[in-house]
A and B are shown apart, each in its own frame.
Chain A
Amino acid sequence: MSKLEQSSLYQLTMVRFRLFLREPEAIFWIFIFPILLAVGLGIAFRNRPADVFQVGATTTQLTQALAADKGLRAATMNEADGTRALATGSILLLVTKTPDGVSYKYDETNPDARTARMVADRAIQTAAGRREAVHVEYQLVHETGSRYIDFVVPGLLGMNLMGSAIWGMGFSIVESRQKKLLKRLVASPMPRWQYLASYLLSRLSMLVIEVVGFLGFARLVFGVPFRGSMWQLGLLCVLTSLAFSALGLLVASRATTMEAASGLMNLVMLPMWILSGVFFSATRFPAVIQPAVRALPLTAAIEALRGNMLQGTNLGQQTAQIGILLAWLLVSFAISLRIFRWR
């Protein structure tokens, strides 16, 4: 045996790798699932050409005026047919000729109908000879970095870093405790710090595969941008993973059954899945709970990752997020070391 193979830290870390690689489900959830999710969301939220709204009008003259706008498809119909078409949703707006002008019939609560009303009004006013008071030029945005997939990839990355760290720590520590393996290990001369260190070492090595695989896929298939510095992005991933590993250690520090552990893990992760802005911006939640939302480690992680990837923000501009992640890391780790149950 070589010197390295005789080292207990090496052996413990290798055990972590072997046990992970021999668990096909874990490989699926950590490496394959996030990519599948990104593909699904990328397809569902792909950028489509601007919608064309279906509208109706009671006179051919109005129909022509409406059809002049590329955003509208107009048909002529009498008022009774038009009302029926409106009720069944086959048109969004019915324009009726009145003695002194036109009247719009539409559902105010339907955003598409409101948009159709504005476009139709513009078309009719233009046809009637209205001129713009201010000259306007339109610049349409189709560049990468502003699409939904660009927004969601850093969110999924953060979510994945959280899941793999908490599940990776939680399940195997609690399983070892339940099967009395922890007790057997402390009965041997194994240095206890090495047991925890082996988890961190294997987590950080796996992190490389996980992050490079996922981001590489997002880059190649969706052309997601990387505007910030790559090494800073790497550092953010490491910090995020360490913070969640510490949280996973805390979750696993007392539980003696797998049921208790998985309940605790869900309790910890569920609020973050919802609140931390994985799929939509966390700023959508009411102002009252914003301080709490922003203090969550996943919110901080995702804000920092999005800042780096989409806006090219550097670490110096992310001290708040980094501070939150460091605080979670240190506090969770300190508490777990105090309350960790070896048997």
Chain B
Amino acid sequence: MLGNGLPTQGNSPTLLLRGLRKSFADVVAVDGLDLEVMRGECFGLLGPNGAGKTTTIEICEGLTAPDSGTVELLGLHWARAENELRQRIGIQLQETQFPEKLTVDETLRLFRSFFRRGIPVDESIRTAQLEEKRHARVGTLSGGQKQRLAMACALVGDPELLFLDEPTTGLDPQARRHLWDLVDGLKQAGRTIILTTHYMDEAERLCDRVAIMDHGRIIALGSPQQLIASVGGEHIVEFAIVGHETGDGLVDPALLKAIAGVESHRVDAGVHQLSVRELHTAVPRIFATLTGQGLHLSEFRTHSATLEDVFVGLTGRNLRDE
């Protein structure tokens, strides 16, 4: 199987991690990680900064050696088949700055020359929608264009497996949507994609499955829909009580949880959060209960549950607190 250049059997995972551990000095970055990503999947590693996402993806990319555990990509191992693996995967790193005085075209021709086989430079430029910037110097590109160039550099080798580390961090909303469309296109072309992000909306929008990471461990794994369903309700009701904005309210949590249709309750900085299954039946009961307690609302809003709510439910912290 080694080195024959043929794709591995369809049923073996494209990426397989077993018991992965990595510490830096006294910080445990990855703490016993097991993971399988199948062929054709778009898989997201989601978590706050410092959760160990980048360390994990860099171990997968063969840039960081794990302290223990095994990494298998396309049925191959870094120690024995580094050259072969480098030819078959595409990598976008978090903070690469390409030489500012080279043009887009020159940069891509350089990266294309490293691969034995791949797509023509023209095609990578078209895929990344950089046609107008083809002969512009990298230094003149916007943040989104630079990120698309990094993506194009990862694509020129026509990789079977693509790693994207925080592809949209630091981009404005429009540039992010542009990049999402690009990833959509790559998914449709059937590539296996592994990406990290700390944006829940990005993971929800792009990924078939996500692993939520915290403190070097996977704390939840599944499709975005499965994870959201695991919160217990598809809707989140948030409210605050007049006079209680700064601390925990005088509301008895047991009373709130007793309301039919309310799955869970938590308080964060004076704001109560309830996850509920059906808004139209639960909300009138919540109003009735609060009025019955003689309490007045200062805030009230609802939203559909997101991966953020999954993270909050699991850790008690917000994703962006860090």
- Return 20 A-B CB contacts under 8 Å, by A number: A5-B109, A7-B113, A8-B113, A8-B114, A10-B113, A18-B102, A18-B106, A19-B101, A22-B101, A180-B96, A184-B98, A184-B153, A186-B63, A187-B62, A187-B91, A188-B111, A188-B153, A189-B83, A189-B86, A189-B115
CA of A7 to CA of B116, assembled, Å: 10
Q: Which residue of B lies closest to A342 (CB)?
A: B63
Contact of B99 among A1, A15, A190, A343 (CB under 8 A): A15
Chain B: minimal CB distance from A14 (Å): 8
Residues 143 to 190 of chain A near chain B (Cβ within 8 Å): 176, 179-181, 183-184, 186-190
CA of A176 to CA of B110, assembled, Å: 15
* A108 contacts across to B, CB distance below 8 A: none
Residues 97 to 121 of chain B near chain A (Cβ within 8 Å): 97-99, 101-102, 106, 109-116
Q: Is B309 an interface residue (CB 8 A)?
A: no
Query: Contacts A7-B113, A188-B114, A189-B83; is A183 near B101 (CB within 8 Å)?
Result: no
* B99 contacts across to A, CB distance below 8 A: 15, 19, 176, 181
CA of A305 to CA of B91, assembled, Å: 48
Q: Which residue of B lies closest to A175 (CB)?
A: B99
Chain A contact residues: helix, strand, loop or mixed: helix
Q: Is B95 an interface residue (CB 8 A)?
A: yes
Chain B: minimal CB distance from A101 (Å): 78
Chain B: minimal CB distance from A189 (Å): 4
Q: Contact between B110 and A11 (Cβ–Cβ < 8 Å)?
A: yes
Q: Contact between A6 and B95 (Cβ–Cβ < 8 Å)?
A: no
Chain B: minimal CB distance from A269 (Å): 25
CA of A92 to CA of B86, assembled, Å: 80
Q: Is A12 an interface residue (CB 8 A)?
A: yes
Q: Contact between B96 and A181 (Cβ–Cβ < 8 Å)?
A: yes
CA of A130 to CA of B95, assembled, Å: 88
Q: Is A100 an interface residue (CB 8 A)?
A: no
Q: Is A23 an interface residue (CB 8 A)?
A: yes
* A19 contacts across to B, CB distance below 8 A: 99, 101-102
Chain A: minimal CB distance from B149 (Å): 11
* A6 contacts across to B, CB distance below 8 A: 112-113
Contact of B63 among A1, A179, A187 (CB under 8 A): A187
CA of A23 to CA of B86, assembled, Å: 32
Q: Is B167 an interface residue (CB 8 A)?
A: no
Chain B: minimal CB distance from A164 (Å): 19
Nearest 7 CB-CB pairings of A with B? A179-B97, A189-B86, A11-B113, A8-B113, A22-B101, A184-B96, A187-B91
Q: Which residue of B lies closest to A15 (CB)?
A: B110
Q: Which residue of A lies closest to B156 (CB)?
A: A188
CA of A15 to CA of B138, assembled, Å: 13
Q: Contact between B109 and A343 (Cβ–Cβ < 8 Å)?
A: no
* B116 contacts across to A, CB distance below 8 A: 189
CA of A343 to CA of B65, assembled, Å: 13
* A181 contacts across to B, CB distance below 8 A: 96-99
CA of A10 to CA of B99, assembled, Å: 17
Chain B: minimal CB distance from A4 (Å): 10
Q: Is B157 an interface residue (CB 8 A)?
A: yes
Residues 1 to 46 of chain A near chain B (Cβ within 8 Å): 1, 5-8, 10-12, 14-15, 18-19, 22-23
Chain A: minimal CB distance from B1 (Å): 20
* B96 contacts across to A, CB distance below 8 A: 179-181, 183-184
* B61 contacts across to A, CB distance below 8 A: 187
Q: Which residue of B lies closest to A194 (CB)?
A: B114
Chain A: minimal CB distance from B89 (Å): 9
Q: Contact between A343 and B63 (Cβ–Cβ < 8 Å)?
A: yes
* B290 contacts across to A, CB distance below 8 A: none
Q: A11-B109, A180-B96 are in contact. List 10 more A-B contacts (CB 8 A).
A: A5-B109, A12-B110, A12-B113, A181-B99, A187-B62, A187-B63, A187-B91, A188-B86, A189-B86, A189-B157
Q: Is B8 an interface residue (CB 8 A)?
A: no
Query: Contacts A15-B99, A189-B114; is A184 near B109 (CB within 8 Å)?
Result: no
* B93 contacts across to A, CB distance below 8 A: 180, 183-184, 187
CA of A129 to CA of B258, assembled, Å: 135
Q: What per-residue 1/0 map shows which CB atoms of A33-77 lie under 8 Å from chain B?
A: 000000000000000000000000000000000000000000000
* A189 contacts across to B, CB distance below 8 A: 83, 86-87, 114-116, 157
CA of A302 to CA of B230, assembled, Å: 76
Q: What per-residue 1/0 map shows which CB atoms of B24-64 lie under 8 Å from chain A?
A: 00000000000000000000000000000000000001110
